[in-house]
Amino acid sequence: MGISKKDVEHVAWLARLGLSDEEKERFTVQLGSILEYAERVGEVDTSGVEPMAHATTLTNVFRDDVPTPSLERDEALGSAPEAEDGGFSVPRIV
Amino acid sequence: MNLCDRRLGDLFQNQVLQEITSEDIVNSCMQRIEALEPKVGAFLSVDGDRAVARAREADRRNFGLGEYPSAVGGVPYAIKDNICVKGWATTCASKILEGYVPVYDATVVTGLDEAGAIILGKTNMDEFAFGSSTENSAFGRTRNPWDLDSVPGGSSGGSAAAVAAGMVPFALGSDTGGSIRQPAALCGVVGMKPTYGLVSRYGLVAFASSLDQIGPITRSVTDCAALLRAVAGHDPRDTTSVDAEIPDYLEGLDAGVKGRRLAYPKELMGEGLAPEVKLAVQNAIHVLEEQGADVEEISLPSLAYAVPVYYLVAPAEASSNLARFDGVRYGFRAPDTDDILSMYEETRAQGFGQEAKRRIMLGTYALSAGYYDAYYGQAQKVRAMIARELAEAFETYDALLSPTSPTTAWPIGERSDDPLAMYLSDICTIPANLAGIPAVSVPCGLAKGLPIGLQVMGPQLGEAAVLQVAFAFEQAFKFRARPPLLDGMPEDPPSTRVRSDAAKFAEFAAGIEQGVVDFTRPLREGDVSSDDGGRGRGGETGETKEADDAGDAGDTGDGG
């Protein structure tokens, strides 16, 4: 089936990944061939098969809703490229 | 043989018998690293000072207070740079995490710390574990110790190379599609991926959350079994961690394979396999048959779809896991951007390497509206079929055999332009990740000086059987080759401890051998500080000893 350059641009947008023109060209080709290969999963008759998300039988492992020690705020901010007033500082959002 | 080449069991005994100290082992490893690192490039960072300090602490603690080390006590090791160590830069070999210093230790690190093991360095890897050759690292190249122009495999190439070159007695890696087993095979060492959930993933930077596992890389199956026990176990901080009793994998390790029913899937012994690899694995099968195992060929048709399933599921999960690298809270942030969107796009454009971008794109596409059902959804169903086929096989067979890698190590740069060719080399290892089953790679020969690995797979929580089969093979086959790089390595540096009077410890040693020594309490009252040798301080003695030691035994510890 392949993938078009427009698809590549759309996916890059979804992934918040800035791509150069050269990368867009290259990925259109490379992703196209990888997807063409991966598409063969479509050959398999999976009627009646439940999807498998992971390899354990565990579901929803909960603990009691009791506050326990967590990361201190200053520790959490310690690696921030920019921090201000106890928060992460970023360029304008709106 | 230098200390850094010794097995865990020997290092344990040597320390208990006070023949060597932990500091001696660290010094031996540091010397090996100094000699070989410029050629091999296994590490992203090494901290010898920290290791020596911990070694001295281990020496003091273990022998000063009567607590005897576990199998890994006092032993230095290497850890893949996607496993968090508090206060130590953890980069995942990516520019986007350059300089990132975790504020917590991974659970495996805490566990090994408590057992007395000592991190010596953080190893190179493919960026975020995306790769099978360690060529996708943003920070440099690792070379195969058996042939410096060849790849060590990946993504735990640095860890495998470090163990193969004898720089450390063991290392930890991570395995999502074969990233422990394949480099172990290419580097001629033992590497194991445990059952999904057996080892906590808390502190492992996630690639594919339903596939990732941390596991050991060692030079022997025995060491692998010992190390696995030390890191396995339920962790409340990892909600996918299994709450099962962890057996002592060393117990019964030598049970042998007499009467065991084994099989090899023909889908993993066919097309794409290099002839020398096929020969080595067929020979391995004969070796196991000679040991009394019954080996048959079986067909598992769904395995033909393992690679395409993986290259939909894994990138999809990766695209989700890597969304957090956005320049907001940690790591690299692109400078000079005007708004949040450009900041995200520029940070990720500049911070991620090519393979990371490719996988994020692939995964995002497979999950996007309109494509989810055909790609990710369908892949999950085929995954279920693969897992079921393997589980059914294990109703009849104790373990399955296959090559670990279809080829031996290839020249650096040969496959880096063809991502698909690189992906196809994971055919043998991927099924175990998809099904969440344990699998180990053990050396089974050389071809043109490059190692070949035999893979043994077992049912979920079937580590004991997998290790028994691997051990039986290892003992019968006797792979003793070492990388030519190690020829003529210098002797260990002089010991840090004063040589003890052999007779003085004869009774002690005899007691251990006869099993009459009780390790749960200090050996002999008053013995603690009466001889400085037990602390491994060599010339510098009692004066530098902490006051509490003298207080313990009531002796003056006046520097023997």
Residue-wise pLDDT for B122-169, tens only, equals: 999 999 999 999 999 999 999 999 999 999 999 999 999 999 999 999
Please check whether residue A9 touches B, CB under 8 A. no
Whether B366 and B372 have beta carbons less than 8 Å apart is answered as: yes
A55 and B197 within 8 Å at the Cβ level: the answer is: yes
Nearest to B221 by CA among B462, B491, B7: B7
Q: Do B364 and A55 touch (CB under 8 A)?
A: no
- The three state secondary structure string of B206-266 is CCCCCCCEEEEEECCHHHHHHHHHHHECCCCCCCCCCCCCCCCCCCCCCCCCCCCEEEEEH
Shortest Cα distance, chain A CAs vs residue B48, angstroms: 25
A86 interfacial to chain B (CB closer than 8 Å): no
Query: Please, which residues have CB within 8 angstroms of residue B227's CB and are 6 or more apart in sequence?
Result: B8, B71, B72, B170, B216, B218
Cβ distance A19 to B357 less than 8 Å, yes or no, reads yes
Which bin fits B284, alpha (ψ -120 to 50), beta or left (φ > 0)? alpha
pLDDT for B286 = 97
Give the gap in angstroms from C-alpha B272 to the nearest C-alpha of chain A: 16
Check if B80 is active-site.
Answer: yes
**CA angle (B327 as vertex; A21, B325 as ends), nearest 5:** 80
The question of whether B402 is a catalytic residue gets the answer: no
Contact A88 B328 (CB under 8 A): yes
Q: Which pLDDT value is given to residue B506? A: 54
SS3 B305: helix
Chain B 345-364, CB below 8 Å of chain A: which residues? 345-346, 348-349, 352, 357-358, 360-362, 364
CB spacing of A15 vs B362 below 8 angstroms: no
A29 touches chain B (CB under 8 A): no
Q: What is the pLDDT of residue B16?
A: 79
Distance from CA of A21 to the nearest CA of B (A): 12
Q: Which of A24, A52, A88 has the most B C-beta neighbours within 10 Å, making it the best mutation to test the interface with B?
A: A52
Cα end-to-end span (Å), chain A: 38
Task: Return the structure tokens found at B73.
Answer: 């006590």
Structure tokens, B469: 């089969």
CA distances from B479 to B219, B443, B454, B470, B476 (A): 10, 7, 12, 12, 9
Q: Say whether residue B236 is in contact with chain A using an 8 A CB cutoff.
A: yes
* A55 at B interface, C-beta within 8 A: yes
Q: B457, B208 in Cβ contact below 8 A?
A: no
Report pLDDT for B551.
Answer: 35
Which residues touch B23 (CB under 8 Å, ≥6 apart)?
Answer: B52, B55, B56, B59, B496, B536
Mutation test of the interface with chain B: which of A19, A44, A66, choosing the one with the most B Cβ atoms within 10 A?
A44
B179 an active-site residue?
Answer: yes
**pLDDT at position B410, please?**
97
Nearest to B349 among A19, A33, A44 (CB): A19
Distance from CA of B383 to the nearest CA of A (A): 6
Task: Find chain B residues with C-beta within 8 A of A50's C-beta.
Answer: 381, 384
**Pick the catalytic residue: B22, B159, B174, B179?**
B179
Contact B444, B454 (CB under 8 A): yes
The stretches in chain B having pLDDT less than 50 are 63-67, 501, 503-504, 516-560
- Using CA atoms, how far apart are residues B177 and B273, in angstroms rounded to an integer? 18
Task: Show which of residues 139-168 on chain B sit within 8 Å of chain A, judged by CB atoms.
Answer: none
Asked if the Cβ–Cβ distance from A54 to B311 is below 8 Å, we say no
Interchain contact A31–B (C-beta under 8 A):
yes
Measured in angstroms, the CA of B393 and the nearest CA of chain A are apart by 16
Its sign, for the CA torsion A50, A54, A57, A61, is negative
For the cut 60, the answer to whether the pLDDT of residue A40 exceeds it is yes
Note whether B387 contacts A55, CB cutoff 8 Å.
yes
Residue A46 to chain B, least CA–CA distance (Å): 6
Interface contact flag, B381 A7, Cβ < 8 Å: no
Cβ of A1 under 8 Å from any chain B Cβ? no
CA neighbor of B218 nearest in space, from B6, B39, B10, B46: B6
Give yes or no for A66 touching B (CB within 8 A). Answer: no
More confident of the two residues B419 and A66: A66
Distances from the Cα of B73 to the Cαs of B126, B150, B236, B374, B548, in angstroms?
30, 34, 25, 50, 22
